[in-house]
Amino acid sequence: MAERLFILNGPNLNMLGRREPHLYGRVTLPAIEQKCRAVAEELDFDLFFGQSNAEGQLIEWVHQAYDQAAPVIINPAGLSTRSVALYDALRMHDRPIVEVHLTNVFGREPLYRDLLTAAAAWGFLAGFGADVYEMAMRGLGAHLSGGGRPCA
């Protein structure tokens, strides 16, 4: 039976492909979702893929993942630096969480470097563009199947 996996995307990620392509590239969120669905099928994940510009909706999805004992891959976007509420929701989750960012947030402006939500994550990937999603899925798949290294 396939394991449920939530991939959650925060504010403005619906604008990928149009928003600051010099930073984020031309890939769109629907293209990322399509790739994630193909990888999910290969890895036997039952995928929920969502994007919201509303903090409360993302928190609701984290709660659903908690209720379903599902791991989470999250790109909290701009909420990563300021959302105590999202951090608290992620922190209570007892399944692996991987935070992803398309850009290398540590090489960007100072306001992007202090990541609150990352402290709740089991894993973290940034700077590889849209490939961070597949990398996170494969890392989670290896970990959940017992082939991955434990992370502190």
Binding site members for substrate: 75, 88, 102-103
Q: What is the phi/psi pair of residue 120, to 5°? A: -95, -5
**Residues 6 or more apart from 122 whose CB is under 8 A from it?**
96, 97, 98, 151
Alpha helices in 28-76 (DSSP H): 29-43, 55-67
Rounded CA separation 142/128 (Å) = 19
Annotated binding site: 75, 88, 102-103
Among candidate residues 24, 87, 93, 143, the one labeled active-site is 24
Which among 144, 133, 13 is positioned nearest to 80, based on CA atoms? 13
Among candidate residues 87, 93, 101, 133, the one labeled active-site is 101
Does 101 participate in catalysis according to the annotation? yes
Residues annotated as catalytic (active site), given as ranges: 24, 101
